[in-house]
Amino acid sequence: MLETLQTKLKEKPSRKEREVVIVYPFNTETKEIFLIQEYIHSYDRKFWKFVSGGVDKVDKDILTHAIEELAEEVAMQSAVVCHLYSSERVFGNRPMHYFIAENPIVMENPPENPDEDYITDAKWVDQTEFQQMLDSKELLWDQGTMCALQAFRRYQ
């Protein structure tokens, strides 16, 4: 049994185990966060969520991944992208890295989004509407929504 565990620890992580970046586009003047509604093929349904993506390029750091996800998913860029929080791998969860992109602007020539899932809607919401979406279960309570609440708190 110990040999099996040691072998598993030496194996390269699968695609499902890779780290993830979450980016919160945040308007510091209106105190609004940007949400996207995405159709997720593997679930065959739509979810309200945050800009996110897997850390899949070995030669790039997590900040670079966050900046690229912002550009690929929602065609935005920001002069200020700051790290909010990182969680380590606990009980099978993947390491997650959370970033705030302050006052993003829409890009003129964004890179192509390689994702199979597609955005069906997007909107800016303030903390009151965000809380209403949590209460109505449009948004799921998870580490991502808790960190988003920290982003709101940061700019109060």
d(Cα 19, Cα 119) in Å, to the nearest integer? 22
- The per-residue pLDDT for 137 is 95
**Could you give all domains of the chain from N- to C-terminal order, each with its CATH number?**
17-154 (3.90.79.10)
Task: Flag whether pLDDT at 101 surpasses 70.
Answer: yes
Task: Flag whether pLDDT at 131 surpasses 60.
Answer: yes
Average pLDDT over residues 100-107: 98
Task: Flag whether pLDDT at 9 surpasses 90.
Answer: no
- The per-residue pLDDT for 56 is 83
Distances 92 to 13, 17, 89, 141, 150 between C-alpha atoms, Å: 12, 9, 6, 18, 24
Mean pLDDT rounded to a whole number for the chain: 88
Task: Flag whether pLDDT at 8 surpasses 50.
Answer: no
Return the structure tokens found at 77: 């860029």
**25-82 tens-digit pLDDT:** 999 999 999 999 999 888 899 999 999 998 988 888 999 999 999 999 999 999 999 9
